[in-house]
Amino acid sequence: MTKLDFDPLLDDLETRVLVCCGSGGVGKTTTAAALALRAAERGRRVVVLTIDPARRLAQSLGLRELDNHPREVVVEGFEPKGELFAMMLDMRRTFDDMVLTHAGRDRADQILSNPFYQTISSSFSGTQEYMAMEKLGQLVAQDEWDLIIVDTPPSRSALDFLDAPQRLSTVLDGRFIRMLSAPARASGRGLLKIVGTGFSLFTRAVSTIVGGQLLQDASTFVQAFDSMFGGFRERAQRTYELLRSPGTGFVVVAAAEPDALREASYFVERLSDEGMPLCGLVANRTHPVLAGDLPAAKALAAADDLDRSGEAPLAAAVLRLHADRVAVADREKRLLARFTRAHPGVSLVGVPALPADVHDLDGLREIGRRLAGE
């Protein structure tokens, strides 16, 4: 196993985009923010795109509300050699902006008020991922930063992030939705003879179940959207190409837990299948033993002795919490060793957990130091 060494990566001007990915709840946002802070302090002009950060973390970066534009992080006592910008993704607004860019004003209004659009833009699983990628594309196009660090949405499965744009455009471009947009034309061609019965049966069934209004809305929506499909697909394709370009690197973040590491494994394999550059794995929030010479069993035996005598409750407690820590550390080491055996080529860095939540620049700086292996 090689050690993932962040400083050379952050210092290399060829590194233009870093994508932090991993399953939900593993600390992607904090990792992204800490890397951005470190890169800025080492001289880069950085923007970090965060998604749903913890309130206090957002505040520490000077972000008070969803705001779709990067703001420079201006905090007293923070004087980086480079510059640091941060933003929080507003998924709905990014989507709305996309519609406004691609459709005329009238058509855009029609789309924005359609219930189908509202489902897609607010709750279709994958929209957030799609919009994160869209925003990344925009930031790259703006060409104002020499390093962009992206956090990815808190999906449970790390893979959603790669698949979502494709899924959304597949659904929007599907055969069924095409038929809805032009039922008359389609059946006129005789192309749908075979499925025609099923289709009309289905439309009838669906209208009875959910009401004809729904199909009407769907049809209006698709027709209005039709002219934009090409643009959407092209953009998704461009972003995908960007992710495969040499200046991009993926940082997979995982907790030392079976589920998170399983997701990380899938992700590592997937990136290699797609020819996307992997920087390495961040094993986040580990609990290395700090008093390594004292075996857990010996500590527990001594704690039992002390408890029996009733003296030195503090020492007994210290011994027990040490034994807990050894058990956790052993388990984490076992899980990480299993990952490395399966992926010997992936470099890795363990980031010891801070005992409390990170909510200021000092905390982020400390995480940055741990990420860099200091």
Give residues 64-93 in contact with other proteins (rule: CB under 8 A). Answer: none
Q: Does 325 bind other proteins (CB under 8 A)?
A: yes
Stretch that binds other proteins, among 113-121, 135-143, 242-250, 337-345 (CB under 8 A): 113-121
Stretch that binds other proteins, among 114-122, 137-145, 223-231, 232-240 (CB under 8 A): 114-122
Q: Does 197 bind other proteins (CB under 8 A)?
A: yes
Stretch that binds other proteins, among 33-41, 43-51, 87-95, 327-335 (CB under 8 A): 327-335
Choice from 218, 224, 264, 278 touching other proteins (CB under 8 A): 218
| Distance from C-alpha of 302 to C-alpha of 308, rounded to nearest angstrom | 10
Q: Does 310 bind other proteins (CB under 8 A)?
A: no
CA angle centred on 159, ends 48 and 329, rounded to 5°: 80
Give the residue with the Cβ less far from other proteins, 112 or 214.
214
Q: Does 120 bind other proteins (CB under 8 A)?
A: yes
Choice from 62, 82, 137, 154 touching other proteins (CB under 8 A): 154
Rounded to whole angstroms, the maximal C-alpha distance in the chain is 92
Output the six-digit token pair for 190.
């005789």
The Cβ of residue 270 has, within 10 Å, a number of other Cβ atoms equal to: 16
Q: In the complex, what is the shortest distance from the CB of residue 247 to other proteins, in angstroms, rounded to a whole number? A: 30
Q: Is 89 helix (H, G, I), strand (E, B) or coil?
A: coil
Bridge partners of 18?
Answer: 149, 249
Q: Does 312 bind other proteins (CB under 8 A)?
A: yes
Query: What phi and psi values does residue 231 have, to the nearest 5 degrees?
Result: -60, -45
Q: Does 315 bind other proteins (CB under 8 A)?
A: yes
| Distance from C-alpha of 147 to C-alpha of 72, rounded to nearest angstrom | 14
Q: Does 242 bind other proteins (CB under 8 A)?
A: no
Q: Does 209 bind other proteins (CB under 8 A)?
A: yes
| Distance from C-alpha of 270 to C-alpha of 255, rounded to nearest angstrom | 19
Choice from 13, 72, 144, 175 touching other proteins (CB under 8 A): 175
Give the residue with the Cβ less far from other proteins, 15 or 181.
181
Straight-line distance from the first to the last Cα atom of the chain, in angstroms, rounded to the nearest whole number: 19
Residues in the chain: 374
Binding residues among 252-271 for other proteins as defined by CB under 8 A: 257-258
Binding residues among 34-63 for other proteins as defined by CB under 8 A: 54-56
Pairing of strands 83-88, 67-72: antiparallel
Edge-to-edge strands of the sheet including 83-88?
Answer: 67-72, 83-88, 45-50, 147-151, 17-21, 248-255, 278-286, 348-352
Q: Does 318 bind other proteins (CB under 8 A)?
A: yes
Choice from 66, 82, 92, 118 touching other proteins (CB under 8 A): 118
